[in-house]
Amino acid sequence: MRAFGIGIHRGRVAFSLMTSPSGAGRAQALRELGLTQASDPDMERYAERVRDQLGVPVALVSLVTEDQQVFPGMCGLPEPWAGLRATPLSHSFCQHVVTSGEPLVISDAREAPLVSDNLAVSELGVVAYAGFPLTDDAGHVLGSLCAIDVVPRDWTPAELRLLEDLSGDCRNELRLRLSRLDARREREHRDRVEERLQIEITRSQRMLSIAESLNETRTEAGLRARLARLVDGVPGFLAVHLHLAADLEKTPPLSPAVVQAAGQLSMVCHGDLHSDERDRDPVDDLAALRAHHARDDVRGLVCVPVLGSGGPLGVLEMLWSLPRHLDDQEHTMASALASYVAQALERAQLIERRVGVAHQLQQAMLTTLPDVPELPMAACYVPATADEWVGGDWYDAIVLPPVPGDTVHDLVVAVTVGDVIGHDIPAAAVMGQARAMLRQAAFDRPGRGPADVLTHFERACAALDIDARGSAVLAYLERSAATGTWSMTWTSAGHPPPLVALSDGTVRRLELSAENQGMLFGYRDVYDVARDDFDIVLPPGSTVLLYSDGVIEVPGIHLDEQMDELGDLLAEQHTRGPQAVVDAISMSFGSGSDDVVALAVQIPG
């Protein structure tokens, strides 16, 4: 035997390189490339080049696994091994190349202690052997490129250099394939990561959208409507139901999963009602659950308790028409959704309570119209529906006491409609103060006109540091003591003009010039200009209408168009009486974003 750079290490565990994780991974990579005992054209060419250029009867590209060696490239191997294209390690010289990581050169195997008892000598006729290791780019030995002769042979340096060069080419081919495989695996891994990342991004975006949507809700009904829309565009998503704690004992009976989630305050899932497979949060009574959904299309369901700051609020039930097994991320998302719902529900309940209190406060501050048989009147107040808005709108009517020495009028009724700036409880409180102070000013200044009373009111607010700012129209309806005819004296603080419907069906809009219209009240510190009174005779059977800007200000519709529509309604309804007028206004006008106030007074015919 003659060695060419051979290194045999005594006491070393055989095939340790192949059984290491990296070596096993490379062997798996070779199998994925198709380099097993199946013939590979490129490997066959290397075996043929070795046979032809070294003049040997047998040449092999041998890859050594844990229990055998396989030949993707092979020339001259006798049967049955040629058909098998593999031998057990008991017939392998190449295993020693893999073990040592060094070339192995043998002139006569029958005389070499390392391999003399190897069955390749007796059964395959191997006598002379020269093999060079085939390594991957990390240096792990995968096998060898070897030349075999059936007679003793002294391998020349030229032959060994040639074999070494060919093994280098073969090694490079293997490395190139492995690099391509690594690149493909890396692309596949990147694609999987990107796919998972995109899924997570989509989930996060959906949860953000849901959170933003639920954050906009202000009522329980609005919350339920938003939840119902969650199923849109999600394949197999049937419905989302919010069962409040008060609903859990109602009939018909709820799903056993809902009852269990409420009782145990934990999530309950069943991925497929057609399967007995239990989820991580299983339902206790599967038979009852199946019976409950026997007549619908539900296949998968998730029930999550909705827990508020003060305890359980209810259960969120989600239903699918397809099997739905939650992964860890979806499990977390379901819990997060329940948390968002809890926050939205508590906020909606709080707002609804506040709205109720605010509207009660506002209604309590509104006046009861006086009973004046000679002057029928009616008013309506429709609060804004947006969130917890309560406005500073008001209406009022009072019978003024007789003025000593006044022989011209025997009855004077003051009517007003106004709007304090703001849509909140403080605005409603200021409105209550302003209405009372304006009423007091009218009583305290007998014989003075509406302009004087409104100015006196403004100065009193400023002196008492009451921040009352807004628009108003104040009118005195006066009956002549001599003739019984009615007239109206009014002043405006930047308020929409009164309307007067005449008995012939025509409607007059009492518009004033920009100069006479008057600015909003409460700004005399920056614009102290005297207000003026204006007069009009009111024919018998006419109807006077005062109203707030919430009646005519509708987004997207021109103000004049709304004024014309209001005039048409007044012309149509005023013969039916003041109550019919304000009822029609409350039903037909307003955008919901502002209070609607109207006060109608009918002049006797």
Helices (H), 101-215: 119-123, 157-215
Q: Give Cα 468 distance to the centre of its chain.
A: 42
Could you please state the CATH topology (level 3) that the domain comprising 366-602 is classified under. Answer: Phosphatase 2c; domain 1 (3.60.40)
* Phi/psi of residue 118, nearest 5 degrees: -70, 135
Please write the tens of the pLDDT for every residue from 42-91.
Answer: 999 999 999 999 999 999 999 998 889 999 999 999 999 999 999 999 99
Indicate if the pLDDT at residue 209 is higher than 80: no
CATH of domain 16-183: 3.30.450.40
CA distance 547 to 499: 9
Contact present, 409 and 478 (Cβ < 8 Å): yes
The token pair at 407 is: 């022989």
Indicate if the pLDDT at residue 17 is higher than 60: no
3-state SS of 151-171 is: CCCCCCHHHHHHHHHHHHHHH
In single-letter form, the type of residue at position 516 comes to: N
Q: What percent of the chain has pLDDT over 70?
A: 89
Q: How many CB atoms lie within 10 A of CB 564?
A: 14
Residues 6 or more apart whose CB falls under 8 angstroms from that of 241 comprise 227, 316, 317, 319
Angle at 470 between CA 467 and CA 474, to 5 degrees: 115
pLDDT: which is higher, 518 or 487:
487
CATH of domain 220-360: 3.30.450.40
Q: Is the dihedral of CA 201, 202, 207, 208 positive or negative?
A: positive
Q: Would 16-183 and 366-602 be classified into the same CATH topology?
A: no
What separation in angstroms does the CA of 601 have from each of 42, 372, 397, 470? Answer: 105, 10, 10, 23
Domain boundaries, the chain: 16-183, 220-360, 366-602
* pTM strictly above 0.85: no
Q: Is the dihedral of CA 425, 428, 434, 436 positive or negative?
A: negative
Please write the tens of the pLDDT for every residue from 510-553.
Answer: 998 877 888 899 988 777 788 999 999 999 999 999 999 989 98
